Amino acid sequence: MSGKHPTAVAQLADLIRDVTGNLVPETRFDFLAEVAQRRAHAAGAPTRAEYVRALAAGELQREWESLIPLITIKESYFFRAPQQFEAVERQLLPRLLRARAGGGRRLRAWSAACARGEEPATLAMVLAEQPQLAGWEWSILATDLDEEALAGARRGLYGERAVAQVPPALLARYFTRRGKLFELAPELRARIDYRAVNLAQPPFELPEPEYDLILLRNVLIYFGRPLQSWVMAHVTPLLARKGALLLGASETLWQIQDELEAIDLGTCYCYRHRRARPSGAPPVAATTPGATAATPAPVPASMAPAAAAPHAAAATPSAAPVTPAPATAPSSGRSPALPPVATAARDDGAARPRSALEMLLAAAHELAANRLDGARRALDEALAADPSEPAGHLLDGFLHDLGGRPEEAAASYRAALYLDPSLFQPRLLLADCLLRLGRRDRAEHQFREVLAALEAGRERSVAIFDELPLPDRARALRRCRQALKGG
C-alpha cells in the first residue's frame, strides 16, 4: 500500500474483495477514499476508519446495499454483443430445443450478473420471438449482487442509451414509451425472476438444479483469477449437460478451468461440457492450462519486425501479415534475473508484497529478457492483483501470441480494449491476430478503427512498457495502411 492512502482505504478494498470478489486496485484508491468519506458521513460514522471498522464488524445495517452500487461497474445495454444473441437464436436454441423436446418442453436460462436487467430482457425478447417455443415453459433467472440494480430491473424502465441497439420492430413490440423512458412489456418481465446472488460466495442458492443457457458476461473480469476458478467450479455443475455458457466477448476460461470447452460459433464462442460437443463443431485449440507451443509461433505483424530487428523494422514494415516469430521473446541480453515476483526488497531488507504495477513491470522485464516463464508468472500475479489494468491484458495477449494461441490472444486484447477502448496498440495487435485467424473482415474493421483514431489524434497508448517493442504511432499507421491494401 502506498503511504498516500490511509490504511482504512486499503482495509476497505480488502473488505470489498472478500465480500464481493471485486478487486479495487491502488490506482482507484483516491476514488475509494471519496466513496468511504461519503458513506461514512451518510452512515453517521465520525471517520473513514470508524466506518470501515463498523462495516467489517457487521454493525452497519444494510450498508452493503448502499456501497455496492458505488463500487461496481454497471455498464450494460440491450443487445450488447449482438453476435451472441444471434448465435443463441440460430445455433444454440435449435440444439437445446432438440435436447429438451422429450422432457416436458421446459427451457431454463440464467443471466448471472444481470445489472439493471438489460441482458435477461434481451434474451427474453429473443426467446419470445421464437415460434418453436410456443407452448413451451421457458423462464429466465436474472441475478446480481446489487439490490439497487435489481430493483431497477424489476421496474423495467430504461433510457434511450440502453435501448439504442434494440431493432425497431422489437422496440415497438416490447416497449412502451413513458416520457423519456422506455418500459419493458409486462409479459417479458413476467418471464424473468430477479434475485440477489453473490457470485463471490458460492454455493449459490438457485431455484433450479441446472440451466440450459447461462450468461456470465462481463463480471469475471473484475475478480482475481483464484476467484474466477472458484466461481466456475460452482457454475459448471449448474450448466445442463447439453447446455451452453456465454462469457463476455473479451473473456475466456483459459487457465481458469478446462472442464468446459470453447466451441467456435463463427462470430463468437460458447462453452459446453466436453462430452456434449456435437460431431461437426470444432473445439478451439490449446485451452489446456499451461499449454505452450512447441514450435515457433506467429506473432503480430505489427509487433514482430521490431522484436526481431527494431531499427530495420521502423524503416520497412513487414510485407507479410504473418511473420515467423522467435519461440521466445525478444531479448535485450542485458536484464539480470529478478527476485521472486510476488515480493520486493524493502529498504530494511525485508520482503514486502509487490504492487500490481510492479508485477506488471516485472513481467515486461522478464519478457524483454527472454524469460517467458518468469513473464507468465509475474503477469498472472499482476492480473490476479488487478484485473482491471488494460496493460496487463495487452501483455497477456502478447504472451498468448508468442505461445501460438491466437484465440486466447484475441480475447486478451479484447479485454484490454474493454477496459480502455481508446488504446491503439491492443487494437492493432487484435487486428493482426484476427488476420492470422482468417477473419479478414473483422481484422480490417479493427485496422480501420486504429487508422481513424490515429488520424484524428484521439488514440491513447500504453506507456508503461518501455522495454517492449510495442508499435508506436508511426509504425501503427504504416501497418494499418499496408494491411488495408491487402498486406
Ligand X SMILES: C[S@@+](CC[C@H](N)C(=O)[O-])C[C@H]1O[C@@H](n2cnc3c(N)ncnc32)[C@H](O)[C@@H]1O
Task: Say whether residue 115 binds ligand X (CB under 6 A).
Answer: yes
User: Is residue 21 near ligand X by the rule CB under 6 A?
Assistant: yes
Q: Which three cell numbers stand for residue 116?
A: 439493471
Judged by CB under 6 A, the stretch of 56-64, 193-201, 297-305, 442-450 that binds ligand X is: 193-201
- The residue range among 217-225, 387-395, 405-413, 422-430 that interacts with ligand X, by the rule CB under 6 A, is 217-225
**Shortest distance in whole angstroms from residue 112 CB to ligand X:** 7
Element (H, E) at 132: none
Residue among 16, 141, 149, 214 that touches ligand X (CB under 6 A): 149
C-alpha cell at 306: 521490431
Determine, following the binding rule CB under 6 A, whether residue 318 of this chain makes contact with ligand X: no
Binding pattern for the stretch 94-113 against ligand X, x by CB under 6 A and - elsewhere: -------------------x
> DSSP H helical segments within 217-326, as ranges?
225-235, 304-308, 310-315
Cell representation of residue 413? 486484447
Among residues 222, 198, 230, 247, which one has the least CA distance to residue 386? Answer: 222
Applying CB under 6 A, among 37, 130, 165, 198 the residue interacting with ligand X is 198
Question: Residues 144, 108: contact at Cβ < 8 Å?
Answer: no
Residue 473 has a CB neighbour count (10 Å cut-off) of 13
Residue with Cβ nearer ligand X (143 or 425)? 143
| Interface with ligand X in residues 23-82 (CB under 6 A) | 72-76, 80
Q: Which stretch binds ligand X (CB under 6 A): 182-190, 196-204, 322-330, 466-474?
A: 196-204
CB of 264 to ligand X, least distance (A): 21
**Strand-strand pairing, 181-184 and 157-158:** antiparallel
CA-to-CA distance for 409 and 460, rounded, in angstroms? 20
Which run of H or E residues covers position 161?
A: helix 160-163
CA angle 266/270/275 to nearest 5° reads 110
Of 30-38, 195-203, 336-344, 356-364: span binding ligand X (CB under 6 A): 195-203
Q: Are 392 and 362 in contact (CB under 8 A)?
A: no
CA distance 277 to 234: 21
x/- track of binding to ligand X for residues 229-268 (CB under 6 A): -------------------x--------------------
- Of 87, 121, 146, 263, the residue at the interface with ligand X (CB under 6 A) is 146
User: Which amino acid, 280?
Assistant: G
What would you report as the CA-atom Rg of the chain, rounded to the nearest whole angstrom? 24
Which residue's CB is nearer to ligand X, number 73 or number 312?
Answer: 73
Closest alpha carbon to 109 in 128, 90, 131: 128
Least CB distance to ligand X at residue 214 (A): 11
Residues in contact with ligand X by the rule CB under 6 A: 20-22, 72-76, 80, 113, 115, 119, 144-146, 149, 198-200, 217-219, 222, 248
